[in-house]
Each structure stands twice: as structure tokens, then as C-alpha cells.
Amino acid sequence: MTATERSIAAAEKYSAHNYHPLPVVVATAQGAWMTDVEGRRYLDMLAGYSALNFGHGHRRLIEAAKEQLDRVTLTSRAFHHDRFGEFCTALAELCGMEMVLPMNTGAEAVETAVKTARKWGYRVKGVPDGKAKIVVADNNFHGRTTTIISFSTDEEARADYGPYTPGFEIVPYGDLAALEAAVDEHTVAVLLEPIQGEAGVLVPPAGYLPGVRRLTRERNVLFMADEIQSGLGRTGRTFACEHEDVVPDVYILGKALGGGVVPVSAVVSSREVLGVYKPGEHGSTFGGNPLACAVALEVIEILRSGEYQERAALLGDHLHHELGLLTGGPAVTAVRGRGLWAGVDIAPGIGTGREVSERLMARGVLVKDTHGATIRIAPPLVISKEDLDWGLERLREVLTAG
């Protein structure tokens, strides 16, 4: 048995089969490259679903973590620690907001946003108790908890997990008239991904996000943007909402906020919104821990320079230009996305998204399929143009070899 086979066999036997990973066993990684247990190198064109925006082992992030490991890693929120205030200040400033509520995973941040919107609805807006409604979009992906999958339209994510949490209405993504019709006097929030990642990197029609902003403001409803995958540089701006000059009431952040080192997520908003909490009403043992804050502070510092947003914009233009050349050909039916982020729909004759991902893997490129016929391309923003071109050349090979 090879080291790869041994590792996969152990995972197959002892881990729940809630994922279907590509058959590669990564041992080390640096920048945009990963090395497997046999010493083979792969270009990472997925970046941990955007959790690795700054690449593997970013020196500043690893140093920030190491330094903090030697100081203090966890206090719980029973006590203050010396990185917490600093982190909240820096994140609030980055977002142009007033308050931060830190959690760990993306799903926890979305849950926190849902709770926050309901509490704001009852305490500030004056919605009658138990009546709060949150409007969401179809094909959304906001995480895996019981409440979040209650408003998913993906049967795979949802089936067998009922009874489902009530209080959500689902409307078609990108359809402003449908959203307007769904918002009523009990609506406390509209929760949306500014670009739908898991759905296949779906960019809504131009004018949709500004329309949502106008509507929510007119109706005294919170606009909550789930920027967990789209945010923090991926699209060429700090937030995907910025492309349409939209500032939501609530940012929901995760993934890259932890620099690919530790899970860090947060809800960021105004004092009117996050000020609804009193001690004991919400929390997390690990949320805002010193290690998380130290790494996230460095992430925020890196984002402040704008360097990676600029890289994502420039390399993203190049990526979309190159992918555009494939579109309409025999292998690719559509390409969507923004910045260093693309969903590529593979023509039926060429193979499934999974098959294309496996063929790319055999040529040293790692991507991930979604929804059968789509592959998602989201390399770390640190990728060099040469490496990106090398990866795209492998994609061309795979698509033309059939």
C-alpha cells in the first residue's frame, strides 16, 4: 500500500462520509502550492473555498500565530485579554462599522446574524413576538446548522434534518420584484450572498444589490450580506458589495478572516443593531480568543494595504479573459465570477465537474466541482501570474483532451 492509499483507507474506514475528497493526500503547503505524501506538487486553485486567500503559510500570519502561541491562546470571554479590543477596533474600522461580535465558523456567524436580526426586530423595530421573518434567496449557501439548512433549497443539504426552523421566506436570487413582494411589516432582515459561491459563483444582475439596499432602507429592514466566501479580497475589493457601491447593515465574515490558520468569523454592524445584546444573551467559548484575534489582526493589517485586493482585480481580469476564450467553445458552456473567482460550466460531452477535477488533479492542479457540471476556480490571491497561466494551460489541456 502506498502512503496515499493507507491514508485514504483510514479516512474511509473511520471518518463519516460527509465529504467526497479528491484522492490526494496533502502533507505540506506553501503559497499557492501543496505537496502530497508522495512528494508530488499541486497548484491549489481552490484556496480552501476562500479561507486561504493569503495562501498557505503566509509568513506574517504564521509569525503572528507563533508569537501568540507563546503568550496566551484562550481566556474565554469570562476575562478580557489584550488582543480583543484591538481586534474589534481594527475589524470595525475595516468594515466602516461600529461593533463586532466574534464567533468561530461561518455557520456560527450566520446563526448569530439571524439571532441578531430577530432580536433587533423585536427590541428596536417593534415586530410582535414570534413573528419575525427573514427573507433569503434560493440556491443560497450559508452553512450547515439546523436553522440554516431550514432555508436551503438544496435537497442534499436539507433532506432528513427536519423539523425545520420557521421564520424564513425564500425568493429567487437576483429578482428584486420577488424580494419586494416578500418583504412585509414583520420582515426583520434580508440575508444574501452578494455573489453566490456554492451555487456556482453566481453574480446577480447589475443593480440588484443597490435595489436591495434601497428597498431594505425604505422598509426598515436589515440588509445582511454574507461575505464569508466573497469578502476579504477575493473579488478584487475588500467586500463584493463594494462593486455596486453598496454598504449593507450587517457584514457576516469568516473563512479568510482566520488566514487559513484558525477559524475566525464575525458579525459586524452598527451600535443600533449589535447593541441589542446584554451579557448572557449570546456567546461562544472560543469566539474572539487571543490566538484568533492575533491572526485576524494580521489579516486585517494585510488587507489594509490593499495589495491583495489589487492582485485579485488584476489577475482576476486576466483569469476571466482567458476563461472567456474557452466559453462558447465545445468544452465550456458558461463562465461567471468576479476577481480571482470563477464558476466554469463544463459541456455535457466533456465530463462531469468531478471528472474534470480528477483529470486536473492528475496534471497537478486542484479544483473542486459543484452542482455536477461546474468547477470552481478560486486560487489564493498570492498566486503568481506564471502559476495561474500554468494552471489555465492544464485546464485547456484537460478540456481539449475530452
Ligand X SMILES: Cc1ncc(COP(=O)(O)O)c(C=O)c1O
Cite the active site residues.
141, 226, 255
Burial of 95 (0-12, 13-18, 19+ CB in 10 A): buried
Per-state percent for the chain, helix, strand, coil, to nearest 5: 40, 20, 40
Whether 284 contacts 103, CB under 8 Å = yes
User: Considering the complex, what minimum distance in angstroms separates the CB of residue 350 from ligand X?
Assistant: 26
Between strands 374-377 and 133-137, the pairing is unpaired
Q: Is 228 in the site for ligand X (CB under 6 A)?
A: yes
**In this chain, which of 107, 241, 261, 292 binds ligand X, going by CB under 6 A?**
107
**In this chain, which of 36, 44, 111, 193 binds ligand X, going by CB under 6 A?**
193
The span from the CA of 231 to the CA of 143, in Å, is 16
CB closer to ligand X, 113 vs 392: 113
CB closer to ligand X, 195 vs 346: 195
Q: Is 142 in the site for ligand X (CB under 6 A)?
A: yes
Whether 267 contacts 100, CB under 8 Å = yes
Q: Is 141 in the site for ligand X (CB under 6 A)?
A: yes
Q: Is 239 in the site for ligand X (CB under 6 A)?
A: no
At 152, list the grid cell: 436551503
CB closer to ligand X, 152 vs 359: 152
Q: Is 110 in the site for ligand X (CB under 6 A)?
A: yes
User: Considering the complex, what minimum distance in angstroms separates the CB of residue 362 from ligand X?
Assistant: 26
Residue least distant from ligand X (Cβ): 106
Cis bond upstream, residue 102 (ω within 30): no
User: Considering the complex, what minimum distance in angstroms separates the CB of residue 91 from ligand X?
Assistant: 17
User: Considering the complex, what minimum distance in angstroms separates the CB of residue 5 from ligand X?
Assistant: 28
Q: Is 198 in the site for ligand X (CB under 6 A)?
A: yes
The span from the CA of 43 to the CA of 59, in Å, is 19
Q: Is 173 in the site for ligand X (CB under 6 A)?
A: no
User: Considering the complex, what minimum distance in angstroms separates the CB of residue 66 from ligand X?
Assistant: 24
**In this chain, which of 25, 32, 36, 49 binds ligand X, going by CB under 6 A?**
49
Query: Which residues inside 246-305 make contact with ligand X, applying CB under 6 A?
Result: 254
At 10, list the grid cell: 483510514
Q: What are phi and psi of 27, to 5 degrees?
A: -110, -40
CB closer to ligand X, 105 vs 216: 105
The span from the CA of 278 to the CA of 271, in Å, is 13
Q: Is 226 in the site for ligand X (CB under 6 A)?
A: yes
The span from the CA of 23 to the CA of 5, in Å, is 9
C-alpha torsion 271→277→279→285, nearest 10: -100
How many residues of this chain interact with ligand X, rule: CB under 6 A? 15
User: Considering the complex, what minimum distance in angstroms separates the CB of residue 254 from ligand X?
Assistant: 5
Whether 291 contacts 358, CB under 8 Å = no
Q: Which residues bind ligand X (CB under 6 A)?
A: 49, 105-107, 110, 141-143, 193, 197-198, 226, 228-229, 254
